[in-house]
């Protein structure tokens, strides 16, 4: 039995309903084809790690899911809605349920930590009072262990702190799906493991599904329910970390050596 | 061949900027309006530019007067010095110099700020947070530059005239009342209105170019630096082009 057969059997049984369905996704930049007939389904409460080389199209994939990039062809269904066909208001409605942690954290330089966290709450047309906002900000910062940073500017934060604040900002709307773009890149090993633990803790707390883009194998090991290997624009294989770890396929092995 | 490639790039960029400016009217002017951000930008762009505009205006008025005086004395028209300086400052030198100072300070600042936000994915983060970044970042800044530059120009002109008054009083004695009376008695509607109206266009050009260069900044610190730099250069050139068009229009309308 080859790896694909093993994986398909193990990932289709006993799954909850799908929250993200990607069908035949294609995306190219000029002659550079980054996604070529890519397929993936993410189920409720599932944590999928997309593994691939730098420049393989992993970040492009999650930017297509959140609607920051338009696919050339194919469908991306998030909670059953095709993202490419949604108008701006419908996309905003979906985005209240989908959090995105940027690789560079993307904290707004000109705003304090509090204002960074409040921004999504104030912008998404969600009816909340100032009292609710204060409580949500407090809860989000306590979740990441940094309540004392509330009035600090992003420039005053260390790399690990900035990542935690970015994570708090992502989680403040209590999203049902979270997309992580290389959450541990650029962090020291100790901080990276703390971020891994935080990702798992918050995912369990809010029962969120997630896609984690990474090539940090410790992050993959710590966070993945299922690992998908993106190679040549396609979903080359998928399976649990342990399944891929023992794979004889040279394309899979190179990531685990 | 190299020349043809550069020409094509030039026309492509001109088209892109025109489309970007078009988006300002079609997308940026639709509700929901970002009033709080607009007021914040008016404060940063307008109020924070006042010391620089005031200082340069004062020096400009003083130096212009001191340099004009010897020539006017030779021709025996030194008494016309306030009128000469007043008309020059209000019609041409005030708006253009203030516009160039504004392009240097604000054009580069907007280009660098938006460029930095672009390369650090803050603009994408804003979109994910349910905000149209074009409205929040571009429309507010362009409206603020368009509204603030005329106000800064009027204030800059007033300070430049005061500088001219100081310049006149270095070699002779003239009262403040007499100095300003002479200037305002000689000015007509056609001196003031076109000069103020063209500064709205200067401000719009500075805002659009700064935002365009920042919004489409290439990756990396070099891209951000290049955005800031090219925003200043292009905005300054546009100020001269608009000035040239403005003088032609006022001439045709018989306002010169």
| A118 domain residue, yes or no | yes
Q: Reply yes or no on whether the pLDDT at A1 is more than 50.
A: no
- CB neighbourhood size of B128 (10 A): 24
| Residues within 8 A of A (CB atoms), B 114-133 only | 116-117, 120-122, 124-132
Q: What angle do CA A101, A103, A105 make, to 5 degrees?
A: 65
Determine the pLDDT at residue A14: 60
Contact B129 A119 (CB under 8 A): yes
Q: Say if B229 is an interface residue toward chain A (CB within 8 Å).
A: no
| B20 domain residue, yes or no | no
| A5 domain residue, yes or no | no
Candidate from A5-19, A43-57, A109-123, A157-171 with smallest mean pLDDT? A5-19
Decide if A38 contacts A21 (C-beta within 8 A): no
| B28 domain residue, yes or no | no
A29: left (phi over 0), alpha (psi -120 to 50) or beta: beta
Query: H or E stretch including A90?
Result: helix A88-95
Q: Reply yes or no on whether the pLDDT at A5 is more than 50.
A: no
Q: Say if B112 is an interface residue toward chain A (CB within 8 Å).
A: no
Domain count, chain A: 1
| B19 domain residue, yes or no | no
Q: How far apart are CA A133 and CA A95, in angstroms?
A: 18
| B5 domain residue, yes or no | no
| A38 domain residue, yes or no | no
Determine the pLDDT at residue B245: 95
| Sign, CA torsion A111/A116/A120/A125 | negative
Determine the pLDDT at residue B56: 96
Domain, as residue range, for B69: 33-252
Model confidence band, residue A173 (pLDDT cutoffs 50, 70, 90): confident
Domain count, chain B: 1
Determine the pLDDT at residue A138: 93
Domain, as residue range, for A173: 45-66+96-256
**Model confidence over B115-131: pLDDT tens digits?**
999 999 999 999 998 88
Q: Reply yes or no on whether the pLDDT at A11 is more than 60.
A: no
Q: Reply yes or no on whether the pLDDT at A2 is more than 80.
A: no
Contact A124 B129 (CB under 8 A): yes
| B152 domain residue, yes or no | yes
Of B241 and A122, more confident? B241
Which segments in chain B show pLDDT lower than 50? none
Here the CATH number for the domain that contains residue A134 is 3.40.50.300
Burial (Cβ within 10 Å: 0-12, 13-18, ≥19) of residue A85: exposed
Mean pLDDT of the A86-92 span: 86
Query: Which of A157, A175, A48 lies closest to A113 in space, CA to CA?
Result: A157
| B14 domain residue, yes or no | no
Candidate from A7-16, A62-71, A204-213, B198-207 with smallest mean pLDDT? A7-16
Reported ipTM: the value is 0.84
| A91 domain residue, yes or no | no
| B57 domain residue, yes or no | yes
Tell me the pTM. 0.85
- CB neighbourhood size of B155 (10 A): 18
Give how far B185 is from chain A: nearest CA, Å: 48
Model confidence band, residue A55 (pLDDT cutoffs 50, 70, 90): confident
**Model confidence over A16-41: pLDDT tens digits?**
789 999 999 999 998 889 999 999 99
Q: Reply yes or no on whether the pLDDT at A104 is more than 60.
A: yes
Determine the pLDDT at residue A207: 87
Determine the pLDDT at residue A9: 36
| B170 domain residue, yes or no | yes
Chain A interface, mutation test: which of B128, B137, B218, B224, most A Cβ atoms within 10 Å?
B128
Of A104, A109, A120, the CB nearest to B130: A120
**Model confidence over A215-246: pLDDT tens digits?**
888 888 888 999 999 998 888 888 898 988 88
Q: Which residue of A has its CA nearest to B128?
A: A95
């Amino acid at each position: 039995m080859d790896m694909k057969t093993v994986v398909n059997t193990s990932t289709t049984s006993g799954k909850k309903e799908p929250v993200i369905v990607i069908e035949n996704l294609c995306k190219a930049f000029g002659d550079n084809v980054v996604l070529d007939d890519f397929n993936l389904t993410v189920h409720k409460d599932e944590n999928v790690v997309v593994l691939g080389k730098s420049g393989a199209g992993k970040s492009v994939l999650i930017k297509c899911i959140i609607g920051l990039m338009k696919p050339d062809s194919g469908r991306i269904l998030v909670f059953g809605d095709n993202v490419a066909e949604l108008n701006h208001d419908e996309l905003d409605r979906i985005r209240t349920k989908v959090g995105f942690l940027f690789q560079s954290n993307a904290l707004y330089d000109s705003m304090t930590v509090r204002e960074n966290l409040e921004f999504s709450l104030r912008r998404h047309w969600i009816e909340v009072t100032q009292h609710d906002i204060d409580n949500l900000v407090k809860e989000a910062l306590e979740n990441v262990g940094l309540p004392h940073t509330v009035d600090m500017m992003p420039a005053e934060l260390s790399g690990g702190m900035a990542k935690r604040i970015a994570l708090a900002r992502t989680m403040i709307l209590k999203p049902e799906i979270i997309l992580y773009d290389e959450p541990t890149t650029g962090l020291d090993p100790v901080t990276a493991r703390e971020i891994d633990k935080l990702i798992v803790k918050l995912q369990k707390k809010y029962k969120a599904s997630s896609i984690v883009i990474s090539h940090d194998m410790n992050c993959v090991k710590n966070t993945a329910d299922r690992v998908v290997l993106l190679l040549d624009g396609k979903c080359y294989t998928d399976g649990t970390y342990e399944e891929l770890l023992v794979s004889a396929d040279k394309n899979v092995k190179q990531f685990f050596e | 061949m190299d020349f043809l490639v550069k020409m094509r790039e030039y026309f492509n960029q001109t088209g892109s900027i025109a489309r970007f400016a078009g988006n300002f009217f079609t997308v940026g002017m639709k509700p929901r309006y970002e009033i709080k951000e607009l007021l914040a930008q008016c404060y940063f762009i307008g109020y924070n530019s006042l010391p620089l505009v005031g200082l340069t205006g004062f020096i400009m008025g003083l130096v212009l007067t001191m340099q004009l005086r010897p020539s006017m004395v030779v021709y025996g028209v030194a008494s016309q010095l306030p009128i000469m300086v007043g008309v020059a400052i209000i019609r041409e030198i005030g708006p253009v110099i203030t516009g160039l100072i504004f392009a240097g300070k604000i054009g580069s600042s907007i280009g660098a700020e938006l460029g930095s936000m672009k390369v650090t994915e803050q603009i994408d983060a804003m979109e994910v947070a349910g905000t149209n970044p074009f409205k929040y970042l571009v429309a507010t800044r362009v409206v603020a530059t368009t509204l603030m530059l005329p106000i800064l120009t009027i204030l800059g002109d007033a300070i430049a005239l005061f500088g001219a008054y100081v310049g006149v009083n270095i070699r002779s004695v003239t009262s403040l009342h007499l100095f300003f009376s002479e200037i305002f008695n000689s000015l007509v509607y056609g001196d003031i209105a076109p000069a103020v109206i063209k500064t709205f266009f200067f401000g719009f050009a500075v805002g659009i170019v700064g935002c365009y260069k920042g919004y489409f900044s290439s990756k990396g610190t070099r891209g951000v630096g290049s955005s800031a730099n090219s925003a200043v250069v292009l905005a300054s050139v546009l100020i001269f082009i608009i000035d040239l068009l403005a003088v032609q229009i006022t001439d045709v309308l018989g306002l010169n």
